[in-house]
Structure 1
Amino acid sequence: MANSKPTLGYWQLRGLAQPIRFLLTYLGVEVNEKRYSGFDQWQADKLNLGLAFPNVPYLIDGDLKLTESRAILRHFARDTAVYPKTADAIRTCDMLENVLWDIWFGLIRYCNSGLEPLKEYFENEIPKKIGYLNAFMENKKFILGNEISYVDFILYEILYHYTTYKAEYLDKYPALSQYKKSFEEIPAIAKYIASDDYIKGPCINPMAKIPI
């Protein structure tokens, strides 16, 4: 990485950047954050940053300019202890990453739009996926067992979103409820949550039909 701190750009909310923020905290990596408070502010920067695919979140680190949240998460995870080391572990992380994205965006799309077809999918199909996830996580400390991976930071944020949507949402999923509690007790994470830099909310666009 460059000598100066990288810049991470995103909205003044949790959203897709929060797993990255948690991972940076866990790894002890310092960045300068540019938090956009409004669309006009982002539009003024959007085409002037040299990004091949202008979007948020973005990472600028010297000549490195990267967008897409999972690409940025993997960038920071790679070559650290949170990146899977075996072929089996990589396959598991790849699978869970995609499963989690479906679960996450089931909630995000419904809350953003409030549309009935998305509500039907969210209420009928998403609980099945979460049930499978809960069964997968039984007797596991982390997704890979006892070793934390970069995908755990995605999982935690999804669970935070769901319990913000409905505080008791995880009551039917004891393994996931315990996972969320245990993740928050990781010393570096607990310290970050207690800090002034931590964003408690909103989780998504505050103008969503169902704000969370």
Structure 2
Amino acid sequence: MTENSFCGCAISLTRTAQNPRARARPLPNSAASAPHFEAQSAAHSCCKMAMKLAYWDIRGLAQPIRLLLEYTGTKYEEKFYSCGEAPNYDKSCWFNEKEKLGMDFPNLPYLEDGGTKVVQSNAILRYIARKHNLCGETEEEQMRVDILENQAMDFRNGFAQLCYGDFDKNKPCYNEKLPGALKQFSDFLGDRKWFAGHKITFVDFIMYELLDLHRMFQPECLDDYRNLRSFLDHFESLEKIGEYMKSGKFIKTPVNNKMAKWGNRKE
């Protein structure tokens, strides 16, 4: 839902409330004696504002968040920022407004949920996951979530350095070390369906994105890791995820922003 269409919804609701024909008939004494705030609360619940996720018009750090929002059936709208073309890669669309957003640490991506504003991609994922009990149930599951959340970020940062750095020079070294990193993730997953255990958690959304990007980068990289391939299949078979991936909202490419050496084009 776009910002304009949401405003249109709000206007429509306001007009309905002002229509004399839409006025409720007098309530019986028993109902009339109920606290007025209950009716207001119910009306507010029905018209709860959608969350707003803001990021560049790429996959990047926002893709696991989008997947989690879709999986949980959360109403949200997206605000996209576009980086300029070479050689300057102008980002003024973001820098001109970042300090006006009223955030302690303004950054992309950010999430707005009513009056709540959250930055940092993992903090956003946890914020959404807590609402749906997707942070692990047992102490062991929560420990595995904590470990993988940080290990996955290290893995992602290494890939980002490759994509945005001296790609041709560093690619051979990265490819040499990649099997070792993937084996660690494969061993950590073991025979589990999901990385924390029997139930999906928010780190599965992070790992799906990272593994999917790497099979785009090097299609044969998962050939020796059957459990990682099965994990990807399980994830894509989730009903809401499958529907999202087939929709026009899903961003397949670009993966990275325009100054990157890999994944910077829409295909």
Q: TM-score scaled to structure 1, two decimals? A: 0.92
Please say if residues 103 and 130 of structure 1, whose CA atoms lie closer than 8 Å, have aligned partners that are also in contact.
Answer: no
Return the alpha-carbon distance in structure 1 between the equivalents of residues 130 and 93 of structure 2: 31
Q: Which residue of 1 aligns with 2:235?
A: 183
SS of the residue 1:142 aligns to: coil
> Mapping of 1:45-56 within 5 angstroms?
45-56=97-108
Return the alpha-carbon distance in structure 1 between the equivalents of residues 54 and 132 of structure 2: 23
Tell me the amino acid that sits aligned with residue 104 of structure 1: R
**Structure of greater Rg:** 2
Is residue 88 from structure 1 mapped to residue 140 from structure 2 by the alignment?
yes
Q: Which residue of 1 aligns with 2:81?
A: 36
Q: Which residue of 2 aligns with 1:9?
A: 54
Q: Which residue of 2 aligns with 1:98?
A: 150
Return the alpha-carbon distance in structure 1 between the equivalents of residues 93 and 207 of structure 2: 30
| Deviations 1:89-141, CA, capped at 9 Å, x for gaps | 11111011111112222211111102578546523444312111112223221
Return the alpha-carbon distance in structure 1 between the equivalents of residues 254 and 167 of structure 2: 20
Is residue 70 from structure 1 mapped to residue 122 from structure 2 by the alignment?
yes
Return the alpha-carbon distance in structure 2 between the equivalents of residues 187 and 211 of structure 1: 27
Range 50-59 or range 174-183, more displaced: 174-183
Q: Report the RMSD for the aligned CA atoms in angstroms.
A: 2.0
How many residue pairs align between the two structures?
Answer: 212
Q: Which residue of 1 aligns with 2:113?
A: 61
> Mapping of 1:91-170 within 5 angstroms?
91-114=143-166, 119=171, 122-170=174-222
Q: Which residue of 2 aligns with 1:197?
A: 249
Return the alpha-carbon distance in structure 1 between the equivalents of residues 70 and 229 of structure 2: 22
SS of the residue 1:172 aligns to: coil
State the 1:34 CA deviation.
0.1
Tell me the amino acid that sits aligned with residue 180 of structure 1: L
Q: TM-score scaled to structure 2, two decimals? A: 0.74
Tell me the amino acid that sits aligned with residue 8 of structure 1: L
* Structure ranking higher on relative contact order (CA contacts 8 Å, 6+ apart): 1
Return the alpha-carbon distance in structure 2 between the equivalents of residues 121 and 99 of structure 1: 20
SS of the residue 2:204 aligns to: helix
State the 1:70 CA deviation.
0.3
Unmatched tracts of structure 2, length 5 or more? 1-44, 84-90
SS of the residue 1:140 aligns to: coil
SS of the residue 2:207 aligns to: helix
For 2:66, which of 4, 9, 21 is the aligned residue?
21
Tell me the amino acid that sits aligned with residue 247 of structure 2: S
Return the alpha-carbon distance in structure 1 between the equivalents of residues 170 and 219 of structure 2: 21
Please say if residues 56 and 81 of structure 2, whose CA atoms lie closer than 8 Å, have aligned partners that are also in contact.
Answer: yes
Please say if residues 256 and 262 of structure 2, whose CA atoms lie closer than 8 Å, have aligned partners that are also in contact.
Answer: no
SS of the residue 1:9 aligns to: strand
Return the alpha-carbon distance in structure 1 between the equivalents of residues 233 and 208 of structure 2: 9
Identical-residue share of aligned pairs (%): 36
